[in-house]
């Protein structure tokens, strides 16, 4: 019998590491060679055009169509010299991943031949054939088509023979159909609001940027083993499979050396990433066997998101070359840690100040506390929405399980910063009075020591302060983290606007700016106290405590999406100019629809492999057992035979029981799908898939995993956990 599993295992374990063509040069000489960055702009564009383009990039002024042709020409020259023949508008549709439609530079030359041309018009705007992208009804409502428009703040880059132009995707009536447009709007909102608040502390700040450093976790599985697992191939996770006897108990993978095949993959990926201007810095093993992490140096938020999107597809491509498959799913394996995408987020001024870093003077420290406290307020007031922003059918598996992070948003500050906020809160009006007399000399506890406090980080906290930034750890490994950055930036922007209004009101009433700031902060510290939690986020006590504090404890993704449409969320997005109600409604339709589709696919795959792989193999083994019982009866007398066959008879019955349970539950699950499919509302359908369909997964898996332990190893067709995880 040809055996897919054993063939795959044999291939997987005999694969030699791919020989690498390591570049002779040092990274600085090939960094960003495939990016049309400022250096190349300077080299390929006329001086005037270069200057104008830099102004567009740095200050967000609209691109003058007059220079677009010159920019396109320079770009094309550079790209042609690098062998490029095609270009594409590269965008991030709501379905996830990235989309591109390649066009060659070819045009008729009017003399019966062709020439290569790239005009400003096609650089700046295009109409992708995008009717197939879900849009939550926006285009039906407006009978409008969508177009893509160049985001000059993210440089164009080359992949293979194609010039990729980062674009936003937007309907003709102005509604965003992607992730990038609202992200850019949220960045503008937080920039403006933060600059206004910065002015209390230093008059010269003109721009505040959000920075993002993304730690990307992932699993590597051998490509041949993956091919033998329909669930991994089609859903990115194992729907069945008994835990290996040894998984992450010993934590030996985290500290172990990286296997050579994997190191070669990582090196190759790093070289390709560096050439695309992605500043990859960190690589290491993660806790689970087969799990790894990489992280670039942090960048401006929009660029960091683009780079992460490029990186995710680059990982898939590079993995293929090395005989691997990358699993970006948040929970590919039961019983071992899933993967996240830790988003290290901070704000910084054009003068180089990180706003979440304490400084040397009291003025610096008051500014530091101002930004920390306002962020806590934003996270507190929109904790449900922030959780909705990281929710998906795939990330749902990871949250709330006993691994980072819990399904409740709270913030960890560390002992010193916590103590400092407590002290500030308790300061009576005497402190305020004293503060006024001494000018800036508030009784602020020593802030700079916080820097020492980065060691006792609480790994169970979903939103932790880590020295000079916040780390949002609940984001899923597969996600486009623009989704959560849009909410975070917008919520902080809204909060900073409110802060300024509150402070200005007190100033108008006669308080000095510092007294006013101090007074408002003390009120805020009291108000947002429920979001602060320093304890163990996995504990049951915390769940009860969080509910008492009024924090959102919902764990069902389709219900959490409702947060996007709550009045406070709509008000926030609309007042900050990030999204309007129609966009929010349309996006939610897409979220619910995508949720349903994912669970529907998983449910079908689970049904298929249960009935086509597991049951036939179990029955075959059962038949072997029955044959053996028969033979015993032929050889031995009745008493002896029944004694000798007892074990086999027990197994035969067990197999029947498990098979029956699987078949019954698969059928019931199919009926549940049918009931869900006829529901009109996308929301109700998604909820039905969550409550009625997915609820069968565990019980089907339970019986299948039991069969895996019973059935002769030689018959089992699906690669087992121990084979998948130990490459």
Residues that bind ligand ADP (CB under 6 A): 211-213, 215, 282, 295-298, 344-346, 354, 468-469
Among 207, 203, 182, smallest CA distance to 193 is for: 207
d(CA 204, CA 349): 10
Residue closer to ligand ADP by CB (options 298, 380) is 298
Q: Which two tokens stand for residue 529?
A: 């106290």
The least distance separating Mg ion from the CB of residue 368, rounded to whole angstroms, comes to 21
Site residues for Mg ion, window 460-489 (CB under 5 A)?
Answer: none
Contact predicate 599/692, CB 8 Å = no
Residue closer to ligand ADP by CB (options 279, 445) is 279
H or E element in which residue 412 lies = strand 411-412
Q: Is 388 helix (H, G, I), strand (E, B) or coil?
A: helix
H or E element in which residue 211 lies = strand 208-222
Q: Which does 138 bind (CB under 5 to 8 A by kind): Mg ion, ligand ADP, none?
A: none
The least distance separating ligand ADP from the CB of residue 484, rounded to whole angstroms, comes to 14
Residue nearest to ligand ADP (CB): 213
d(CA 372, CA 336): 34
Q: What angle do CA 89, 143, 172 make, to 5 degrees?
A: 40
Among 370, 361, 212, smallest CA distance to 296 is for: 212
The least distance separating ligand ADP from the CB of residue 470, rounded to whole angstroms, comes to 9
Neighbouring C-beta atoms of residue 705, cutoff 10 Å: 17
The least distance separating ligand ADP from the CB of residue 491, rounded to whole angstroms, comes to 17
d(CA 151, CA 305): 13
The least distance separating ligand ADP from the CB of residue 298, rounded to whole angstroms, comes to 3
Residue closer to Mg ion by CB (options 329, 342) is 342
Residue closer to Mg ion by CB (options 124, 450) is 450
Residue closer to ligand ADP by CB (options 69, 300) is 300
Q: Which does 375 bind (CB under 5 to 8 A by kind): ligand ADP, Mg ion, none?
A: none
Residue closer to ligand ADP by CB (options 469, 549) is 469
Stretch 196-215: interaction string toward Mg ion, x if CB under 5 A = --------------------
The least distance separating Mg ion from the CB of residue 392, rounded to whole angstroms, comes to 21
Q: Which does 346 bind (CB under 5 to 8 A by kind): ligand ADP, Mg ion, none?
A: ligand ADP
d(CA 310, CA 272): 11
Contact predicate 463/188, CB 8 Å = no
Residue closer to ligand ADP by CB (options 307, 398) is 307
Q: Which does 146 bind (CB under 5 to 8 A by kind): ligand ADP, Mg ion, none?
A: none
d(CA 315, CA 322): 11
The least distance separating ligand ADP from the CB of residue 248, rounded to whole angstroms, comes to 18
The least distance separating ligand ADP from the CB of residue 617, rounded to whole angstroms, comes to 43
Q: Is 554 helix (H, G, I), strand (E, B) or coil?
A: coil
The least distance separating Mg ion from the CB of residue 539, rounded to whole angstroms, comes to 22
Q: Is 35 helix (H, G, I), strand (E, B) or coil?
A: strand
Contact predicate 217/336, CB 8 Å = no
Q: Which does 468 bind (CB under 5 to 8 A by kind): Mg ion, ligand ADP, none?
A: ligand ADP
Q: Which does 56 bind (CB under 5 to 8 A by kind): ligand ADP, Mg ion, none?
A: none
Residue closer to ligand ADP by CB (options 307, 387) is 307
Q: Which does 560 bind (CB under 5 to 8 A by kind): ligand ADP, Mg ion, none?
A: none
d(CA 290, CA 719): 15
CA atoms within 13 A on the CB side of 75: 32
Q: Which does 282 bind (CB under 5 to 8 A by kind): Mg ion, ligand ADP, none?
A: ligand ADP
The conformational region for residue 84 under phi > 0 = left, psi -120 to 50 = alpha, else beta, is: beta
The least distance separating ligand ADP from the CB of residue 209, rounded to whole angstroms, comes to 10
d(CA 562, CA 542): 24
Number of residues that bind Mg ion (CB under 5 A): 1
Q: Which does 480 bind (CB under 5 to 8 A by kind): Mg ion, ligand ADP, none?
A: none
Q: Which does 219 bind (CB under 5 to 8 A by kind): ligand ADP, Mg ion, none?
A: none
Neighbouring C-beta atoms of residue 382, cutoff 10 Å: 26
Angle at which helix 301-321 crosses helix 482-508, to 10 degrees, equals: 170
The least distance separating Mg ion from the CB of residue 193, rounded to whole angstroms, comes to 27
Contact predicate 419/571, CB 8 Å = no
d(CA 160, CA 34): 10
Site residues for Mg ion, window 327-366 (CB under 5 A)?
Answer: 342
Sequential DSSP letters for 67-123:
HHHHHHHHHHHHHHHTT--EEEEEB-BTTSS-B--EEESEEE-SSSSEEE---HHHH
CA atoms within 13 A on the CB side of 205: 23
The least distance separating ligand ADP from the CB of residue 308, rounded to whole angstroms, comes to 10
Which residues make Cβ contacts (< 8 Å) with residue 369, sequence separation at least 6? 420, 421, 424, 444, 447, 521
Residue closer to ligand ADP by CB (options 167, 353) is 353
Residue closer to ligand ADP by CB (options 353, 383) is 353
Q: Does 522 bind Mg ion (CB under 5 A)?
A: no
Q: Which does 297 bind (CB under 5 to 8 A by kind): Mg ion, ligand ADP, none?
A: ligand ADP
Residue closer to Mg ion by CB (options 123, 479) is 479
Residue closer to ligand ADP by CB (options 278, 376) is 278
The least distance separating ligand ADP from the CB of residue 392, rounded to whole angstroms, comes to 22
Q: Which does 592 bind (CB under 5 to 8 A by kind): ligand ADP, Mg ion, none?
A: none
Cis (ω within 30 of 0) for the bond into 140?
A: no
β-pairing verdict for 86-90 and 162-171: parallel
Residue closer to Mg ion by CB (options 342, 382) is 342
Residue closer to ligand ADP by CB (options 106, 297) is 297
Residue closer to ligand ADP by CB (options 345, 621) is 345
Contact predicate 464/457, CB 8 Å = yes
Beta strands in 341-481 (DSSP E): 341-349, 411-412, 463-465, 470-472
Residue closer to ligand ADP by CB (options 212, 557) is 212
The least distance separating ligand ADP from the CB of residue 522, rounded to whole angstroms, comes to 27
Q: What angle do CA 97, 103, 107 make, to 5 degrees?
A: 170
The least distance separating ligand ADP from the CB of residue 356, rounded to whole angstroms, comes to 7
Contact predicate 543/377, CB 8 Å = no
**What would the 3-class secondary structure string for 256-321 be?**
CCCCHHHHHHHHHHHHHHHHCCCCEEEEEECCCCCEEEEEECCEEHHHHHHHHHHHHHHHHHHHHH
Residue nearest to Mg ion (CB): 342
Q: Which residues pair with 326 in a beta bridge?
A: 220
The least distance separating ligand ADP from the CB of residue 206, rounded to whole angstroms, comes to 20
Binding site for Mg ion (CB under 5 A): 342
């Amino acid at each position: 019998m040809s055996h897919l599993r054993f063939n795959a295992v044999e291939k997987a374990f005999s694969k030699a590491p791919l020989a690498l063509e390591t570049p002779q040069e040092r990274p600085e000489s090939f960094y960003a060679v495939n990016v049309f960055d400022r250096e190349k702009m300077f080299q390929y564009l006329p001086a005037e055009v270069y200057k104008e383009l830099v102004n567009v990039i740095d200050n967000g002024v609209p691109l003058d169509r007059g220079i677009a042709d010159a920019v396109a020409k320079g770009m094309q020259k550079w790209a042609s010299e690098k062998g490029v023949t095609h270009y594409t508008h590269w965008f991030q549709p709501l379905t996830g991943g990235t989309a591109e439609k390649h066009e060659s530079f070819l045009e008729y030359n009017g003399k019966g031949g062709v020439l290569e041309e790239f005009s400003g018009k096609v650089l700046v705007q295009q109409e992708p054939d995008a009717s197939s992208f879900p849009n939550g009804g926006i285009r039906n409502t407006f009978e409008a088509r969508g177009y893509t428009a160049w985001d000059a703040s993210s440089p164009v880059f080359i992949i293979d023979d194609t010039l990729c132009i980062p674009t936003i995707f937007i309907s003709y009536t102005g509604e965003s159909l992607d992730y990038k447009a609202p992200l850019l709007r949220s960045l503008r909102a937080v920039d403006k609001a933060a600059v206004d608040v910065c002015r209390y502390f230093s008059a010269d700040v003109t721009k505040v940027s959000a920075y993002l450093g993304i730690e990307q976790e992932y699993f590597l599985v051998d490509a041949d083993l993956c091919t033998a697992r329909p669930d991994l191939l089609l859903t990115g996770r194992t729907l069945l499979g008994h835990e290996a006897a040894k998984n992450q108990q010993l934590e030996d993978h985290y500290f172990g050396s990286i296997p050579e095949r994997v190191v070669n993959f990582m090196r190759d990926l790093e070289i390709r990433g560096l050439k695309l201007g992605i500043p990859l810095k960190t690589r290491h093993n993660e806790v689970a066997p087969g799990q790894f992490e990489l992280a670039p140096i942090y960048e401006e938020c929009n660029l960091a998101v683009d780079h992460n999107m490029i990186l995710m597809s680059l990982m898939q491509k590079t993995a293929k070359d090395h005989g691997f498959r990358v699993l970006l799913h948040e929970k590919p394996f039961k019983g071992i840690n899933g993967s996240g995408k830790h988003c290290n987020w901070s704000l910084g001024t054009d003068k180089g100040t990180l706003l979440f870093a304490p400084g040397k003077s009291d003025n610096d420290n008051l500014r530091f506390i101002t930004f920390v406290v306002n962020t806590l307020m934003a996270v507190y007031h929109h904790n449900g929405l922030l959780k909705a922003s990281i929710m998906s059918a795939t990330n749902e598996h990871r949250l709330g399980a006993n691994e980072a992070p819990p399904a409740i948003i709270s913030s960890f500050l560390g002992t010193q910063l916590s103590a400092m906020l407590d002290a500030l809160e308790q300061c009576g009006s005497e402190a305020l009075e004293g503060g006024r007399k001494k000018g800036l000399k508030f009784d602020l506890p020593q802030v700079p020591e916080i820097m020492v406090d980065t060691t006792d980080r609480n790994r169970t906290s979903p939103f932790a302060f880590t020295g000079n930034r916040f780390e949002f750890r609940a984001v899923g490994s597969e996600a486009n983290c623009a989704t959560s950055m849009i909410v975070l930036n917008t919520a902080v922007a809204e909060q900073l606007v409110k802060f300024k209004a509150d402070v200005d009101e007190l100033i108008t009433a006669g308080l000095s700016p510092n007294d006013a700031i101090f007074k408002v902060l003390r009120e805020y510290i009291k108000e947002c106290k429920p979001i602060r939690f320093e304890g163990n986020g996995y504990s049951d006590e915390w769940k009860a405590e969080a509910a008492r504090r009024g924090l959102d404890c919902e764990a069902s993704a389709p219900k959490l999406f409702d947060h996007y449409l709550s009045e406070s969320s709509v008000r926030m997005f609309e007042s900050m100019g990030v999204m309007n109600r129609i966009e929010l409604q349309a996006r939610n339709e897409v979220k619910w629809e995508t949720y349903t589709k994912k669970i529907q696919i998983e449910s079908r795959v689970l049904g298929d492999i249960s009935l086509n792989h597991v049951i036939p193999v179990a029955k075959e083994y059962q038949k072997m057992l029955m044959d053996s019982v028969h033979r015993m009866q032929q050889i031995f007398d009745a008493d002896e035979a029944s004694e000798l066959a007892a074990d086999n008879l027990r197994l035969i019955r067990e197999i029947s029981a498990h098979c029956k349970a699987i078949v019954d539950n698969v059928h019931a699950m199919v009926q549940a799908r049918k009931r869900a499919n006829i529901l009109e509302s996308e929301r109700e359908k998604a909820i039905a898939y969550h409550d009625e369909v997915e609820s069968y997964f565990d019980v089907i898996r339970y019986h299948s995993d039991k069969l895996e332990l019973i059935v002769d190893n030689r018959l089992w067709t699906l690669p087992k956990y121990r084979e998948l995880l130990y490459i």
